Structure 1
Amino acid sequence: MLAAILNRAQKPALLYVTFLCSWMPAIHSQGLSPTAFGNAGSSYFHPGNGITVEWVVGQMAFTTLDGGNGAVTQGMLQPLYAVPLPVELLDFRAARQSADRVRLDWSTAAEKNNSGFSVERRLDKSPDFSTIGFVPSHAAGGNSASPLAYFYTDPNPYAGITYYRLAQTDLDGKRAYSPVRAVSGWATTLNVEQWPNPAHGSFFVRISSPEKATGELTDPAGRLIQKIGMKPGNAEEFRVSTPGLYLLRVVTGSESRSLKIAVQ
C-alpha cells in the first residue's frame, strides 16, 4: 500500500471516547436493549417506526441505557494515529524534457513487501489511465528502511497535456495510487519537407526549425547510408543507388521526425 508523503513513522495507539446520544421519543419509548448498539459497520432497525441507526466509527467498549430519558451513553475505542502503510512515498515529479521525452522521478522513505510501481498516464480530457511501464522495487525482497530513488522515462509521450500517476503494487497484489502529476504539451517547431517521393536515385529535404539538425538515412536493415548536417531553409540532397524503402530521421537538439522514403 502507498502512503502519500509521510514524513515520519507513526505508532498506532487507541483513543478512549465517551459520548452521549439522545434519541427520538419514537425510539426510546419502545424499551431499547444494549444489543441494539454495536461496533462500526453494524446497524439497528426499529420495526415500530422504520428508523435505522448506523454505526460508522470505533469499537464498542460499553453501552448503558436510560430508557426513560431516551439517552444512550457509549464508550468507544477509536484509532488515535494511523498505522504507517508499507510504502512511504516522499515525492513524485514529472517533467517534459523534449517533444519525445518525459521523465518521472520519485523516492520512498521506507518500503515493506513492495513489488514495484506501474507507471500510468492519460491524455487531457481522457477519463482512463493506461499502463506504459513498470519499475521493480529497488529494495531487497521489497523491504527497506532507507530512502530509495526511482525514475522512468516515457519515450513516446503525448504531444498535448498529459497526466501521470504511479500504481504501487504489494507482493500480495494489493495496489495504491500516487497523486497525479500534469505535464504540459510541447509546441512543435520542427517541420520537414521531402521531395520527390518516390525518389529515383536521389531526393531533397528541407527543414524549418530554429535549430540546426542532422539527417540520418538508414536502409531496411538499419544500416546507416548517409548522414548530413542540415541548416534551416536549405535543400539538402540525399543520394541512394539501390531501390528499396528507406528511413530518414531528422534530429535537432530537442525534437526529431522520421519519414519513410521509397526509392525506385
Structure 2
Amino acid sequence: MKTFYLWIWVVLGAISIHSKSHAQCQLVEPAIELNSVSPSGSDCIVNVNLSFTIDKNNGNKYTYVHLWKPTEYPDIDYKKAPKLADLGNVLATLAISTDGSATLLSTYSADEDVIPLFTGLNLIEEDLGSNVYRITIENIQFAVPGACEALPILKGDVWSSQAQSANPPVHCYNEGFNLQINDPVITGKINCNEPDGPRTYDLSIVSTSPTAFEVSYTLYLDDGVLTNGETTFGAGDTPIYTSGPTNLSASQPIQSKEEPYTYGLLEDKRTIWVVLNGPSLPNAIVAELKNGCTITLPVTLARFNGSLLDNAVSLSWTTTEEAGSSHFDIERSTDAREFIQLGRVQAKGNSAATQQYLFVDAKPLAGNNYYRLRMVDLDGKFEYSRTIAVDNGANSVAFELMGNPASTREIKFLLKNENASNVNLYDLSGRAIRFSLSHTGNEFVLKPKNGISSGLYILSLQRSNASTLTRKVLVP
C-alpha cells in the first residue's frame, strides 16, 4: 500500500490553542496520514492515521477530535462541552485518554448518544521526555459523502478537559483546522550509476482517487542557479521531456525506473523538476528529483547555452562552484572538430556561490556555429565543456527573451523568421493568457490584457514545421 500525506494547515503555520483557564493546553504538530480511499455507493470510505504531540500535564487528560465536511461545519460555543445536537453532521469523533498511558475511549462522556470511533483502531505512544508524548492513532476509517469524485478539505475541532463527565469544563480548544488531502503525490530520485554513469531517474506519480483522471507532466533540468543556497524552479530551467495525456488513478500510477535523460558534459549535478498538470487539478504540482551525485572539478558548470539573436549569437553559462579557476576561453568551429579561440572571460577564482557569465559572438558564421568553453585553472590545467551548436542560416529561427525576469510585466522577446501570430502565453497550469502584441523590426512587446500576477509563465511558439519552442518567463 502506498502512503500519502495530508497535513493540517493552520493560519500562521502553527496550532493556536485557545486557553480557557490557567492550565494551558499543549497540542501541537497534528498530522494526518492517508492510507486509502475506496468507493461505497455515492460515499467514499477514507482510512487515515492521526498523530499529534501533547503535554499531559497541561489540561489534556481527556482529548476529543471531531471532523466535518466544510459545508456542514457547525458553530460551537466551547464554553461547554458540545453535545450531539451541537456537533450536527459530524463525520467522525475520537475520544482519547492521556491520564497515564494513552488509550482510546469507547464512550464520549459529554453525550452518550455520540459514538466515537474505537473498533479496529491502533494507538501508539512515544515518550519525548518532560511529560511530552507523540500519539499516533492508526486505521481510522469513516465515510465521507460524495468524496470519491473530489476528495474534500475537511474541517476539524480538538478540545480537552481535565474531567470525564457529562458536563466537563473545556480547558482549551482548537477549532476550524483544515484537513488538506495532498494528492497526487510525486516522488523520485536521480540514480548516479557511479563511476561511469550515465545518470538516470526514477519517477512515481500516485493518486488515491479510484476514478481515473487525465494528467500530463514535463521534466525540466535545473539551471544550477541557487537561491539562498538552494535550487529553485525558475525561468532558466530547460525542458527535457513532456508526456502526452495520461490517465492517473489509485490502480493506474505513473512510474518510470532507470530512465535515461539528456545532460551535457560537466552538467551532471543538476536536479530535475517535475511539473504535473491536469484539467481537474486546481493548480500545477511542482516537485524536485534531488541530485546527490558528486563531481570533483575546479569548476562545476551547471549550464552552457547559446542563443541566436538578430545578428549575433549570445553565449551564457553558470557555475555553482569554483576552486582556483583562472579564466574561460570561448572557442568556435564550423565542423565541431577544429576550433579557434574567439575571446576570453576571467573567472571568479574561488566561489561557492552561483556565478553567471556572458559572451556575445557579434560576427557568427553563416550556417552552423559550434561553441565550447575551455575552462582553465590557475595551475594551467583545463577541462572542456560540452559542445553546443547554433544555426545561423538564412532561414534560422530566433526566439529569445529580451530581459528575464519581466520586471515591467511586459514580456519582450526577439522573433525572427516565424509568424508572431503563433506565439502564445500560458501559466503553469496550462491556462492561456490573453495579450496584445507590438513590434519594431524583430523585437516584440507582449502586454497581457488583464494584467498577470507574480509567478512563472510559458511563452510558446508553434513553428511552421509543427515543432514547438518554449521559453519560461518569470514575473516578479
TM-score range, shorter chain: 0.3 to 0.5
Structure whose alpha-carbon radius of gyration is higher: 1
TM-score by length of 1: 0.40
TM-score by length of 2: 0.23
